[in-house]
Amino acid sequence: MFSSPGSFGSRKTSATAYRDVGATTALDGASPHKLVSLLYDALASELAAARGAIQRGDVAEKGRAILHAVRIVDEGLNAPLDMEAGGSLADNLRELYKYILQRLTHANLRNDAAAISECARLIDALRDGWDGIAEQAHAGAPVAA
């Protein structure tokens, strides 16, 4: 979904193909609640990768991980917010996502692992809350995303 295209003329490795099949399988038939959970999980993983890359001084990996994290926040979490139906909750989430995007940009420009950690804590809190409404979401009750 958010993977970057492979190099021109290159073939996928078996590990990449296996990962892609696993990701596709996880998405097939997933509820909207589950899809958001998967986005939070992928975002947490990218933030951890970015933090590790900063610690190792791996500029290319840091840039890749932060770019992927930004796309998840912007395209996967922020863009689909229903501002009319979501009311103040959607407004608050939009502002929080905007703040996270600003902190990720700062972290990328300044190699600031603390900013990445701050974003990870915010996402962990959102993910915990989101997971906490799983039963309600699967029972068919309306939830704001």
Q: Quote the domain boundaries for residue 88.
A: 32-138
pLDDT confidence bin for 1, thresholds 50/70/90: very low
Rg of the Cα atoms in the chain = 16
With respect to residue 1, please indicate whether it lies within any of the assigned structural domains: no
With respect to residue 56, please indicate whether it lies within any of the assigned structural domains: yes
Say which residue, 15 or 141, is predicted with more confidence: 141
With respect to residue 25, please indicate whether it lies within any of the assigned structural domains: no
pLDDT confidence bin for 15, thresholds 50/70/90: very low
With respect to residue 17, please indicate whether it lies within any of the assigned structural domains: no
User: Residue 140 gets which letter from DSSP?
Assistant: T
Say which residue, 142 or 2, is predicted with more confidence: 142
Mean pLDDT over all residues of the chain?
Answer: 83
pLDDT 10s digits, 55-99: 999 999 999 999 999 999 999 999 999 999 999 999 999 999 999
With respect to residue 144, please indicate whether it lies within any of the assigned structural domains: no
With respect to residue 36, please indicate whether it lies within any of the assigned structural domains: yes
SS (H, E, C) 5-36: CCCCCCCCCHHHHHHHHHHHHHHCCCCHHHHH
CATH of the domain at 89: 1.20.120.340
Q: What domain count does the chain have?
A: 1
pLDDT confidence bin for 30, thresholds 50/70/90: confident
